[in-house]
Amino acid sequence: MKKPISNSQNDRLSIDRRSFLKTAGLGAMAMSFPFPELPDYLKGVPMGIVVHSYGARWNSKVESKNYPGFQNALDLINHCHSIGAGGVQVGVNNWTSDFAKQVRDTREKLGLYLEGSIGMPKTEADVSNFEKEVLAAKEAGATVLRTVCLSGRRYENFKTEAEWLTFKTNSLNSIRLAEPIVRKHKMKLAVENHKDWKAQELADIIKNLSSEWVGVTLDFGNNYSLLEESSHVISTLAPYAFSTHIKDMGVKEYEKGFLLSEVPLGTGIVDLKTGVDLCRKYNPDITFSLEMITRDPLQIPCLEDGYWATFENASPLDLAKILRVVKAKEFSGELPSVSKLDPEKKLAFEEENNLACLAYGKEKLGI
């Protein structure tokens, strides 16, 4: 295994990144810089930002003049507008009607789209609260409600096939409990491929449910953790996509498998333009929301027996293929790491990554 990145290396990476941003014109005024004229089919709503792109800043207790913490959705919305984003995706749990109206007024004033993030009901007793959150999101002007079935990762949460099958049964029940509510209020519910479902598994769930109100939040990079390349995942799920988490991924070998990180758009292994074009083909009005999570690399221990406990018909060819991809397309330099950074540098690194992604999206992808 490679040695952990040192403080001096992190300082150098931060300096190099700042130099790149300055050279490329991606400072605080990045989004005001003119870019080449885009073809008509690329013009539309600018890329928005998922709240997880500000994992360090969301509810931050760090005293920072440059990067004050976001205490609620209004703080996030105002900041994202200030850096040129087209909208936000943020949790709607515990929103009162009054707060939802504040969000609506602010969003409308700034001209941003809003997508909610919501938890699904686990039992009949949860349905009434789920409906309240749907109504709050609708009051605020949300167009889509992103949701997940699993908050963790399939290969970490479940140690046996029986555990996985129980999760699958419970997840399908949650979706069935949620569907009549979103259908009643005409709100789109979008289930994310959240390091739980393989692409075809999620596609089959949506097809079998056969509801115009339940689709997919298509995450461009998550399924590398399940040994699926982004091209396959996007082509499989794009026909059902209501919303997106657009991201790029960097990979590196390690002794138990490979390391996986979100990296600035254009520096990783995801074919972003093809992904964007395919999503637009199936849903011309789809929005693209950046999920640039600035964190330490995730370990994907696909060379250990325990990783495979929940995968039916596991194929050694899939493993061999993804390991070839990792070897051939290994990230240049160290993958992003924040554990050795002090709080202020961590906040700065997060903001720099988001600004770089927004500028790349506008210049290269038309979003």
Sequence-distant (≥ 6) Cβ neighbours of residue 88 within 8 angstroms: 48, 49, 50, 51, 73, 76, 77, 80, 112, 113, 114, 115, 289
User: Is 337 part of any domain?
Assistant: yes
Per-residue pLDDT, 43: 52
- Of the chain, the percentage scoring pLDDT greater than 90 comes to 86
How many domains does the structure of the chain reveal? 1
Q: 273: helix, coil or strand?
A: helix
DSSP assignment letter at 340: T
- Let me know: does 231 contact 271? Beta carbons within 8 Å: yes
User: Is 6 part of any domain?
Assistant: no
Q: What is the pLDDT of residues 330-363, one digit of tens each?
A: 999 999 999 999 999 999 999 999 999 999 999 9
Stated pTM of the model: 0.88
User: Is 23 part of any domain?
Assistant: no
User: Is 160 part of any domain?
Assistant: yes
- The span from the CA of 249 to the CA of 233, in Å, is 14
Q: What is the pLDDT of residues 52-111, one digit of tens each?
A: 999 999 999 999 999 999 999 999 999 999 999 999 999 999 999 999 999 999 999 999
CATH label of the domain that carries residue 138: 3.20.20.150
* Higher pLDDT, residue 201 or 24: 201
Domain containing residue 250: 43-365
- The span from the CA of 55 to the CA of 295, in Å, is 9
User: Is 22 part of any domain?
Assistant: no
User: Is 15 part of any domain?
Assistant: no
User: Is 25 part of any domain?
Assistant: no
- Let me know: does 285 contact 45? Beta carbons within 8 Å: no
User: Is 5 part of any domain?
Assistant: no
Per-residue pLDDT, 314: 80
